[in-house]
Amino acid sequence: MRIQVDLSKELQDYVTASSLREPQILAELREYTSALPLHLLQISPEQGQFLRVLVSALRVRKAVEIGVFTGYSLLCTALALPPTGTVVACEISEEWAAIAIDHCKRAGVADRVDVRVGDARVTLDALLAEPGARGSFDFVFIDADKENYEAYYEAGLELLRPGGLVLVDNVLWKGAVIDDEAQDDETRALRAFNAKVRDDDRVDLSMLPFADGLTFALKR
């Protein structure tokens, strides 16, 4: 039997009140970002907490994040890493990267963060060329421009060790992926990406309708 809970605003508020634990530095970053024109690019605090629990549960030591924005998800990952852990973060905007780095410094985890500014495809190619990088990472989080999700995913799989996880955000795109009238480049790219991962026998797969849709791809 399929059971589905209608997540009303009241029930969502209950979930938040019953479970959300947001460190002060993350609350400050979220408040700062809320005043920016593109504030909707930031993940929710509930999703950030989920990310922290996931990184901790998987005992991640080496991570890659593709798409940083002002750094909420990056800071969540860094806070969950062990003191010797590292997250390589790809961000195209120097302005946004600077905000992320500043908050990581304030949180005392800047030594765990390696922010690389530029086209993420170029950054990932350079990372793959580094000695020992291939097959050495535990976790990859993708939350960037949707047209390049496939390229980021392929690079992520090469960087991951067997048993490493790729986590991909926005795979439901607020429902646009099932709207035949939505034919913009981002939506079409997400449809193609979702179909590709569904048929990819290199990974074990689960897509969850949490937040704006999350895909978990576990490298075999």
Instruction: Provide the β-strand partners of residue 167.
Output: 141, 216
The C-alpha atoms of residue 82 and residue 109 are separated, in whole angstroms, by 10
Least Cα distance to 54 among 199, 173, 169, 174 occurs for 169
- Choose between 8 and 199: higher pLDDT: 199
The pLDDT score that the predictor gives to residue 7 is 77
Task: Give 194's pLDDT tier (boundaries 50, 70, 90).
Answer: very high
Task: Give 8's pLDDT tier (boundaries 50, 70, 90).
Answer: confident
With 0-12 CB in 10 A as exposed, 13-18 as middle and 19+ as buried, what is 29? buried
Handedness of CA 124, 177, 198, 208 (dihedral sign): positive
Is pLDDT above 60 for 1? no
The pLDDT score that the predictor gives to residue 2 is 59
Task: Give 144's pLDDT tier (boundaries 50, 70, 90).
Answer: very high
Task: Give 36's pLDDT tier (boundaries 50, 70, 90).
Answer: very high
What is the DSSP code string of 109-152?
-GGGEEEEES-HHHHHHHHHHSTT-TT-EEEEEE-S-GGGHHHH
Question: What tens digit of pLDDT does each residue of 98-115 get?
Answer: 999 999 999 999 999 999
Q: How much of the chain, in percent, has pLDDT values that exceed 90?
A: 95
The pLDDT score that the predictor gives to residue 142 is 98
Question: What tens digit of pLDDT does each residue of 82-95 get?
Answer: 999 999 999 999 99
The C-alpha atoms of residue 184 and residue 81 are separated, in whole angstroms, by 37
Looking at residues 112-131, what average pLDDT do you find? 98
Ordered structural domains, the chain, with CATH = 44-219 (3.40.50.150)
Helices (H), 35-110: 45-57, 72-80, 94-107
What is the DSSP code string of 141-191?
EE-S-GGGHHHHHHHHHHHEEEEEEEEEE-SSGGGGGG-TT--SHHHHHHH
Average pLDDT in the chain: 96
Least Cα distance to 213 among 162, 174, 161, 164 occurs for 174
Looking at residues 109-123, what average pLDDT do you find? 98
The C-alpha atoms of residue 200 and residue 203 are separated, in whole angstroms, by 6
Is pLDDT above 80 for 4? no
